[in-house]
Amino acid sequence: MKHLLSIADLSRADIERVMTVAESFAEVVERDIKKVPTLRGRTVVNLFYEASTRTSSSFELAAKRLSADVVAVRSTGSSVDKGESLRDTIATLSAYDPAAIVIRAPWAGAADLVARQTSASVVNAGDGKHEHPSQALLDVYTLRRRLGSLDGASIWIVGDVLHSRVARSNIHAFTRMGAKVTVCGPPTLIPRGIESLGCEVRYDLDDVSAADVVYALRMQNERMGESNSFVPSLREYISCYQIDSRRLNPRQFLMHPGPVNRGVELSAEVIESPQALIVEQVAAGLVVRMAILYELLTSSGRDGGPVGVPTPTVEQPA
């Protein structure tokens, strides 16, 4: 792989290769010295045009654990504030000859545009409502650790699917890995024709007890524009769609990409329950993003690499 722009581009084998590499990195991060020299002397640029805690910190740490030099650029306080176009920003940052550019932007297609304009590998860290592929990969990783395999698992994605890039990437990733995906939310927040991705659509939570995994989404108010009238009231939304201890049964796992709006899509008690994998997802984010950078930036990764061989562990800790 040269770039990671969308899950739609990946096969099951591609996803499994990233999983295998990530598992080997999980061993690395448990050591006292958590660094490997894989990307020593190479530069990773993190270019974030949108607010981010998890994704930006996790990509930064992942690159540092691989001994890369990391440059973080945020839209606020940078030349982007002064009206520089994305194209010119990329040209400027490309002068540092980065091995990878990790980009998050509020516009679908931003990562594709960057990939056309730089020789660096490009990682899409979220582009508008399009895709968030590293999130989907870390979610698959988290579930594989808990379930062993996603084959046949029933996963319900609940909430504001319309505005969610996480939902789009995860539907691709989960179905590719053999899971049965159901999306559930108010009809105004379910994109028309989403069944064509191979998922089922429900407008109520009546059958959610059949799910092995409940994946809750946040209401993306920042993407709803001025006429934020997708649901008549938050109160009604909560009564219909909030995952609480009444709706979640003890054998189900609960996931959420964060940040959580506590008391809206999730009740406080389920967030803190042992079924919630939300913190595990964050931890998985680190090793999966290390694996992504490894896949894109090392020759064994780019050539496809021998699946099942934990290549990074052959490197000596720095």
Residue found by looking up tokens 């009444």 in the block: 246
| Minimum separation from the CB atom of position 99 to other proteins (A) | 23
Bridge partner list, 278: none
Could you tell me the smallest distance in angstroms from the CB atom of residue 85 to other proteins? 6
By CB under 8 A, name the one of 65, 104, 165, 256 that touches other proteins: 165
Contact flag: residue 168 with other proteins (CB under 8 A): yes
| Residues 86-105 contacting other proteins, CB under 8 A | 86-87, 105
Q: Which of 10, 21, 66, 194 binds other proteins (CB under 8 A)?
A: 194
Q: Which is nearer to other proteins, 133 or 312 (CB)?
A: 133
The answer to whether 24 and 280 are in contact (CB under 8 A) is no
Which region among 127-135, 232-240, 253-261, 272-280 touches other proteins (by CB under 8 A)?
127-135
Give residues 7-26 in contact with other proteins (rule: CB under 8 A).
Answer: 8
Report the alpha-carbon distance of residue 289 to residue 124 in Å, rounded. Answer: 11
Q: Give the integer Cα–Cα distance in Å for 100 and 46.
A: 8
Q: Should residue 201 be labelled a site residue for other proteins when binding is judged by CB under 8 A?
A: no
Instruction: Return the range that interacts with other proteins (CB under 8 A); candidates 17-25, 31-39, 58-66, 126-134.
Output: 126-134
176 contributes a contact to other proteins by CB under 8 A: no
- 112 is a site residue for other proteins (CB under 8 A): yes
Coil, helix or strand for 78?
A: coil
- Rounded to whole angstroms, the maximal C-alpha distance in the chain is 58
Q: Is 136 in the site for other proteins (CB under 8 A)?
A: no
Selected from 50, 60, 127, 139, the binder of other proteins by CB under 8 A is: 127
Structural contact between residues 35 and 65, judged by C-beta atoms closer than 8 angstroms: yes
**Closest by alpha carbon to 127, among 147, 148, 145, 104?**
104
CB of 223 to other proteins, least distance (A): 9
CB of 6 to other proteins, least distance (A): 9
Backbone angles phi, psi at 297, to 5 degrees: -110, -10
Strand pairing of 69-74 and 43-48? parallel
Q: Is 278 in the site for other proteins (CB under 8 A)?
A: no
Q: In this chain, which stretch among 138-146, 190-198, 206-214, 242-250 interacts with other proteins, using CB under 8 A?
A: 190-198
Report angle CA 69, 56, 284 to the nearest 5 degrees: 100
- Peptide bond between residue 106 and the one before it cis (omega within 30 degrees of 0): no
Q: In terms of C-beta distances under 8 Å and separation of at least 24 residues, what long-range contacts does 258-261 make, across chains too?
A: 258/53, 258/54, 258/282, 259/53, 259/54, 259/218, 260/216, 260/218, 261/218, 261/219
107 binds other proteins (CB under 8 A): yes
* Piece in contact with other proteins (CB under 8 A), picked from 110-118, 176-184, 203-211, 256-264: 110-118
Binding residues for other proteins, rule: CB under 8 A, are 8, 85-87, 105-110, 112-113, 127-131, 165, 168, 191-194, 196-197, 225
